Amino acid sequence: MEALDNRCPSCGAKITFNPEIQKWDCEYCGSQFSLEEMQKYRNASSEEVNQGSKREDSSNTKLKDLDVYHCKNCGAEIMADATTAATFCVYCGSTAILKERIEAGRAPDLIIPFKNVKEDAVRAFRQVVKHKPLTPKCFKNEKNIQKITGVYIPFWAYDFKADGEMEFLARDIRTWSDYHYQYTETRKYEVRNRGHFDYSKVLADASTRFADDLMDSLEPFEYDQLEKYNHAYLSGFLAEKYDVEEDKALERAEKRTMNTCVQLLSDSILHQSKTLRDNQMKLEKVASYYIMLPVWMVNIQYNNKYYLFAMNGQTGKIVGNLPIGVKEVILWSVFLFLIFFLLGWGVMYLV
């Protein structure tokens, strides 16, 4: 079996994936190669390397020829190929990490390669903190900003079919008045609504290190750019190792899908208010996928708490939570007090 070793076919140097040109770019000799060319030179992982031995059950797929980094501080596990040097933990910023060869794990089915480069993420983060003067100084520290790292985040994705009906209690309220009284008329309706829905690749975060609502906020991803998984896309990036099993993530995906069904059927009822009374909708899982999605991210510690900034590595959508610094609040309060004091004193002097 071929080992994964992404090196330049021209000069033999380590080669990394360039999101801007969607090719593998050698910074030493300037050569550029497509995935087909890399496979031709046997420098991108073969079908066997990506998926392990042929099998009937896809859940038995194993990852091979990848390194896994263990953080002594927070316990994070991130994967990388031989071309990637992980010098700090993307979750806690610690430099105390250990590098080992990964032993087992299911290989992803699909991947969306990075479209944005690190400079795009750095520029976006600077823009965010620039317009937030109360943000602590550490978030504007160039050393912390440069720790922004490209990470492939694991997701389970499911295809569903939904069919059935729901019963709603609907209301229409009308009010009017005359010279003596104010009137309110409430009309109630029992509405049964039936529907059939097909859903493709409903996502559920496969890592416990990220808040589910934060990962949901990175959506949507453009599925027309999904590619068949290949280890070569990890060149120059890191990849989170999933720690949420498929069956457990399924429950959350089903809940998200059912909530969408309720919303769609409720929106189709032309009454002022609707309340779900009975749900007879049946949900069937058609297929499941293990997908790697691109995210630029940085975790910055402030007051013993980590704050995550993340950018969708495909669309550029930004999410994150920034704290308010105590020192910054005090400084701005004093500054504004002095400004208003001087303005007030000036007005009184002129009067």
Two tokens, residue 292: 């790697």
| pLDDT given at position 59 | 39
| pLDDT given at position 235 | 81
Determine if residue 123 is left, alpha or beta; phi over 0 gives left, psi from -120 to 50 gives alpha, anything else beta: alpha
Nearest Cα residue to 292 out of 157, 159, 154, 158 = 154
Q: Is the peptide bond before 220 cis (omega within 30 degrees of 0)?
A: yes
Least confident residue range of 99-108, 213-222, 283-292: 99-108
Task: Provide the 3-class DSSP secondary structure of residue 250.
Answer: helix
Nearest Cα residue to 79 out of 135, 167, 154, 11 = 154
| pLDDT given at position 292 | 93
Q: What gap in Å lies between CA 54 and CA 51, rounded to an integer?
A: 8
Mean pLDDT of 35-40: 80
Ranked by mean pLDDT, the top range of 70-79, 125-134, 250-259, 317-326 is 250-259
The continuous run of DSSP H or E covering 162 comes out as strand 149-177
Q: What gap in Å lies between CA 67 and CA 78, rounded to an integer?
A: 8
Per-residue pLDDT at 326 exceeds 80: no
φ, ψ of residue 37 in degrees (nearest 5): -70, -40
pTM, two decimals, is: 0.78
325: Cα within 13 Å, side-chain hemisphere: 16
Which residue would you say has higher pLDDT here, 336 or 53? 336
Per-residue pLDDT at 102 exceeds 50: yes
Rounded to 5°, angle at Cα 268 from 266 and 273 = 50
Mean pLDDT, the chain, integer: 81
| pLDDT given at position 53 | 37
Using CA atoms, how far residue 162 sits from 66, 191, 258, 266, in Å, is 39, 19, 8, 15
